[in-house]
Amino acid sequence: MSLHLSLKRKHLLHCNLIYSWSNMVLDKLGNSLQETLKKLVGAGRIDKHLVDEVVKDIQRALLQSDVNVKLVMQLSKEIKRRSLEEKVLAGMSPKEHVVRIIYDELVKILGESSKIQLKSQTIMMVGLQGSGKTTTVAKLARYFQRKGLKPAVICADTDRPGAYEQLKTHCDKMGVLCYGEPGSKDPVKIVQHGLAEIEKYDVKIIDTAGRHALESDLIKQMEEINAIAKPDHRLLILDAAIGQQASEQARVFHESINVTGVIITKLDGTAKGGGALSAVSETKTSIAFIGAGETIEDIERFDAQRFISRLLGMGDIKSLIERAEEALVEEEFDVEAMMRGKFTLKDMYNQMNAMNKLGPLKQIMQMLPLGGMGVKISDDMYEETGGKMKVYKVIMDSMNENEMTEPKVIGSSRIMRIARGSGKHPDDVRELLKYYKTMQRAMKGLRGGKMNMAKMMRKFGG
């Protein structure tokens, strides 16, 4: 079935959206409501003893992964406090409750996503020798190239013999320009010349020298290159196996050149990369990318969930977090009322809130099965729909409790009052009420369990 939705059909879109969404929730409820309720009863209790126990496990995991001791202690304190103060989400066992909070706290430190955008910019790489800078310069160039930008790189490592050749070999493979002056001993000049040479390229990446240990002349060199190049990003490259020195290293680099992000390499090895967590905490930045392999393709945007699972040695954190998110959304629904056969404006309001929590409309739509049915939705359409939801919410905020729970009482004089109160046109209020009725019918159909998506569409003008 192929169906093209035009802007005029936005009504139908709202409907499908909430229909599908509700369907998902109700389906799930159908299967697991009993179990969820059962768990809920048992999960109300969470005591200090249990929290201490779980936190101890986590501390062990974090320390084994080389997370800085001070950081682990700070984390533990906050985790204990929140675990005892916050209420357990529906369907979560006490242990899962604590693990979810731990995850939350770790994400707070890690930052959820990279701030490196796909645009023209200059990036300078810093880090100790062998951390993977040169390899990562090539990987990053490849990354931007795949995204359609034109990268070029500069080799400003004048210490390591063959540094230029090493980088150029990688670059030649992907047809990326590599500027260097083999034989020169002046990295600052190389950067100056190089930047002039590659001026017209989109993304300029500068590889620098490293040392076995942090030495003042290395720091001085970084500062000079930084002053000349004025890079948009200064990325600290850390080997996943770096261990407890990560904090100290990050601190020194950060104090001298203000690190804007961390890349962690060699995650294909056995190290869990806990040092990176300490470095990120020290520099108040986030992990931009991770490297997991020796080829130039082995680079990925950082994924906090995956990283934390690895850090804690837990394979199932993703599903746990997903369930927690679902539980949060479900709390917004008056499920019992919906099951009893009543669907009020209040229920609809809660649904909209729940959908907002799930993220931008576009993302939700991608989760729904509409795509597979050949429904095409333009970006305009998403905006239009999102905008309507906001208007509806503002209107509903001007209704009183009685109107929200018994929409039948809303006659023309109330429509005028609600319109005035919300600063909207009476037609908007009427549109909302019409939309509500459509939704109510859809809900009835849902409960009957007979109506499928195709029928819905036909019925509402699809």
DSSP assignment letter at 158: -
Return the number of the residue (165 or 383) whose C-beta is nearest ligand GDP. 165
Q: How far apart are CA 221 and CA 24, in angstroms?
A: 58
Pick the stretch among 132-140, 251-259, 397-405, 418-426 that binds ligand GDP (CB under 6 A): 132-140
Smallest separation, CB 158 to Mg ion (Å): 11
DSSP assignment letter at 87: P
Return the residue of 14, 97, 100, 133 that touches ligand GDP, per CB under 6 A. 133
Near ligand GDP in 191-230, by CB under 6 A? 210
Beta strands in 145-193 (DSSP E): 151-156, 177-179
Binding mask 67-106 for ligand GDP (x = CB under 6 A): ----------------------------------------
Q: How far apart are CA 12 and CA 435, in angstroms?
A: 9
Return the residue of 293, 313, 386, 445 that touches ligand GDP, per CB under 6 A. 293
Binding mask 155-194 for ligand GDP (x = CB under 6 A): ----------------------------------------
Pick the stretch among 127-135, 168-176, 354-362, 368-376 that binds ligand GDP (CB under 6 A): 127-135
Return the number of the residue (166 or 422) whose C-beta is nearest ligand GDP. 166
List alpha helices for 86-147, DSSP H. 94-110, 133-146
Return the residue of 23, 134, 256, 286 that touches ligand GDP, per CB under 6 A. 134
List alpha helices for 181-265, DSSP H. 187-197, 216-229, 246-257
Return the residue of 294, 297, 397, 427 that touches ligand GDP, per CB under 6 A. 294
Q: Please, how many CA atoms are within 13 Å of residue 203, restricted to the half-sphere of its CB?
A: 24
Compute CA distances 277 → 48, 143, 242, whole Å. Answer: 27, 23, 11
> Which residues 6+ apart lie within 8 Å of 102 measured at CB?
54, 55, 58, 75, 79, 312
Return the residue of 135, 226, 283, 309 that touches ligand GDP, per CB under 6 A. 135
Q: How far apart are CA 445 and CA 343, in angstroms?
A: 12
Pick the stretch among 79-87, 88-96, 123-131, 174-182 that binds ligand GDP (CB under 6 A): 123-131
> Which one of Mg ion, ligand GDP, none is in contact with 283 (Cβ closer than 5 to 8 A by kind)?
none
Return the residue of 52, 82, 130, 211 that touches ligand GDP, per CB under 6 A. 130
Near ligand GDP in 265-284, by CB under 6 A? 265-266, 268-269
What the block records as the tokens of 13 is 């879109």
Smallest separation, CB 292 to ligand GDP (Å): 5
Pick the stretch among 40-48, 130-138, 252-260, 423-431 that binds ligand GDP (CB under 6 A): 130-138
Contacts with ligand GDP by CB under 6 A: the residue count is 18
Smallest separation, CB 95 to ligand GDP (Å): 34
Asked if 137 and 169 touch (Cβ cutoff 8 Å), the reply is: no
Compute CA distances 147 → 134, 261, 432, whole Å. Answer: 20, 20, 42
Q: Is 132 in the site for ligand GDP (CB under 6 A)?
A: yes
Asked if 124 and 225 touch (Cβ cutoff 8 Å), the reply is: yes
Q: Hey, CA dihedral for 411, 416, 421, 425, is it positive or negative? A: positive
Asked if 79 and 105 touch (Cβ cutoff 8 Å), the reply is: yes
Nearest CA-CA partner of 52 in 95, 106, 105, 100: 95
Q: Is 291 in the site for ligand GDP (CB under 6 A)?
A: yes
Smallest separation, CB 276 to ligand GDP (Å): 13
Return the number of the residue (75 or 125) whose C-beta is nearest ligand GDP. 125
DSSP symbols for 313-381: T-TTHHHHHHHHHHHHHHTTS-HHHHHHT---HHHHHHHHHHHHHH--HHHHHHHSTTGGGTEE--HHH
Smallest separation, CB 398 to ligand GDP (Å): 57
Q: Is 134 in the site for Mg ion (CB under 5 A)?
A: yes
Q: Is 65 in the site for Mg ion (CB under 5 A)?
A: no
Return the number of the residue (160 or 447) whose C-beta is nearest ligand GDP. 160
Q: How far apart are CA 173 and CA 210, in angstroms?
A: 24
Return the residue of 122, 131, 283, 344 that touches ligand GDP, per CB under 6 A. 131
Residues that bind ligand GDP (CB under 6 A): 127, 129-135, 210, 265-266, 268-269, 291-294, 298
Residues that bind Mg ion (CB under 5 A): 133-134
